[in-house]
Structure 1
Amino acid sequence: MIDAASALLSTLDMAVVPSATENGNDAPPNSHATGANIPVHLLSDGQRSAFEFFLGFYAFTFVNATATFGLTPQTANMIHRIPFMFPPHGNKLKFLRGCEDWTMLIILDIVILRDWKEKALQAGRLSIRELNSRAALIEEKLQEGITRSSLSKTSATAADDNNRRRSTTPSTPPTPSLPSEIFEEEVRMMTSSFIHGALVFLNVVVSGFYPNITEIKSSVLETLTALEYMRARSVVNIPSWPYFVAGCLAQETEYPRFRALVTPFVPGKVPLVMTMWSLEVLEECWKVRASQPEEQETCSWVTAMKNRGTRYLLL
């Protein structure tokens, strides 16, 4: 689906994004500069709304898919165009998926960093010092986001919680029809979950799938805490991507807490299928880990999916 959508978008008259090789530099480009030259003025209002919705959902899906499975030749050609689909200082995904745009852009930076690392490693010229330097710049942005999220954290009253439960269903992203303070808190919780999950992802890109590394242990615990906070207070489902990424690197003592994030099925209500499927793959990952020596790099989320014969798009 992602490759097909990428092929469709590549036919549009989008702005020329200079590649790293054209600049004589193989470093990951700083991806957040200008906009795309898409002739939206030729579209009707309805067509434009549909087009903007498609672009936003495509960008969100693209980032999730490439962060989970890596780049294909088609997505590699598209990756530097994705940031141009977001308006400068805008929040396209805030109203579409309930999270702030910059979180997806930083996850995209980590995808680019992982691709750079893999290519440099294959060419025999990976500099650990340079890898750590680039990762530190991304981590600084994530830590700034964590600080902002903590400062904007609100304590909802019981009445606000009741309003949330009446205003939307458990499987949808928050909508602007919610009271503003509740909507902003929903967005903050969703964004916080993605920020912490991105930090786990970054640590894995730098260090590998080693759950006992200090920074991986701490970032997994912080992600789990953010997800538990959201599960206890939000009317929308927790996002599957940070749940899955953190769960794959969890400590054995944390397994029950990850299992508890999957709410029991209630007759007459829509089940949280994506979270249930994610847990099934996590159980496979944990089973493989149990059979491995502790010092060995553990089972990745891709390996766990392959073992089960599945490929889930973690939305």
Structure 2
Amino acid sequence: MLLIKEISYLEAWKKDMQQGRNLSIPTLSSKAAGLEQRLNAGVKTVISAQSSTTKFDQECDLVTQVYAQAALIYLAVVVSGNSHLLPEIRSSVAKALVAIKALPAHLLIRVSWAYCVAGCMADEAEKEEFRKILFSADRAGYKAGTMWNALDIMEEFWMLREHLNVVQFSDKCAWALAMDSLGTKILLI
């Protein structure tokens, strides 16, 4: 969560620099690289510790992995924009999807933000997988709460993405663009 906060600071810094017309791409890249290294190191630590923990700890680690992959996606979007085709985004979306599918259905509501961030960057083949996760949990009787809002945001962004000029040249993250388009602000926690 602290790294997600730092990424949001990086996003704000980038916007300030752009407005002042003095954004240094090498500085942005350097700051982002440090955050990415810390996120990847954390993921490796969580994965290596998983085999020797309790079921509760394993579930917590899965939630952590989902958030870490979403944070990597967020970082890539801040640095490079809303293209779901970037290799680092493709990799993180795939890893987030695996971790989300591995989560017990009762924990899905705990990853609404991460589900939304990863889902916005889903490619055509992954979109249905993101939908199935939520529909399966709903059919099984689990309360999905803000997950429905997340899916609405994802669906809106996927529609917006078809109009690349709107998305590609925006300085806002995918989920913010979708919320603006829907005329709403949703806290996905």
Which band: TM-score by shorter chain?
A: 0.7 to 0.9
Determine whether 1:112 maps to 2:9: yes
Gap regions ≥5 residues in structure 1 = 1-103, 156-179
Q: 1:203 aligns with which of 73, 76, 88?
A: 76
Q: CA 1:292/1:121 → structure 2, altered by over 3 Å: closer, same or farther?
A: closer
Q: Supply the distance in 2 between the matched residues of 1:130 and 1:236 (Cα, whole angstroms).
A: 38
- Identity over aligned residues, as a percent? 34
Name the one with the larger helix percent. 2
Structure 2 length normalisation: TM-score? 0.88
Paired letter, 1:312: I
Name the counterpart of 1:306. Answer: 180
Determine whether 1:257 maps to 2:129: yes
Gap regions ≥5 residues in structure 2 = none
Q: Supply the distance in 1 between the matched residues of 2:84 and 2:139 (Cα, whole angstroms).
A: 34
**Between Structure 1 and Structure 2, whose CA radius of gyration is higher?**
1
Name the counterpart of 1:225. Answer: 98
Contact 1:263 1:272 in 2 (8 A): no
Contact 2:93 2:122 in 1 (8 A): yes
- Work out which structure has the larger RCO, using CA pairs closer than 8 Å and 6 or more positions apart in sequence: 2
Task: Give the number of aligned pairs.
Answer: 185
Contact 2:81 2:168 in 1 (8 A): no
Paired letter, 1:121: Q
Name the counterpart of 2:20. Answer: 123
Q: Supply the distance in 2 between the matched residues of 1:261 and 1:186 (Cα, whole angstroms).
A: 17
SS at match of 1:312: coil
Q: Supply the distance in 2 between the matched residues of 1:244 and 1:311 (Cα, whole angstroms).
A: 13
Q: Give the superposition deviation at 1:112.
A: 1.0
Name the counterpart of 2:156. Answer: 284
Q: Supply the distance in 1 between the matched residues of 2:152 and 2:30 (Cα, whole angstroms).
A: 36
Contact 1:244 1:282 in 2 (8 A): yes
Contact 1:117 1:131 in 2 (8 A): yes
Structure 1 length normalisation: TM-score? 0.54
Q: Give the superposition deviation at 1:114.
A: 1.0
Q: Give the superposition deviation at 1:229.
A: 1.6
Q: Which runs of 4+ in 1 moved over 6 A?
A: none
Contact 1:193 1:242 in 2 (8 A): yes
SS at match of 2:50: coil
Aligned positions of 1:19-38 closer than 5 A: none
Q: Give the superposition deviation at 1:234.
A: 5.6
